[in-house]
Amino acid sequence: MQDPNKPVRIQFQANVQGGGPVAKFIAGIVGLTMIGAALFLSVFLFAGLLAVGVVAGGWFWWRTRKLRRQLRESIDAATREALRQTEARAAANEGGQGAVIEGDFIRAKPPDSAQNSDPRA
Which phi and psi angles does 95 have, rounded to 5°? -80, 5
- CB distance 71 to 64 below 8 Å: no
Task: Report if pTM > 0.85.
Answer: no
Per residue in 53-96, pLDDT (tens digit) is 999 999 999 999 999 999 999 999 999 999 999 888 877 766 55
Q: Is 99 exposed, middle or buried (0-12, 13-18, 19+ CB in 10 A)?
A: middle
Q: Of all helices (H) and strands (E), which one includes residue 49?
A: helix 21-63
Q: What is the predicted pLDDT for the residue at 79?
A: 94
Domain residue extents for the chain: 19-63, 64-95
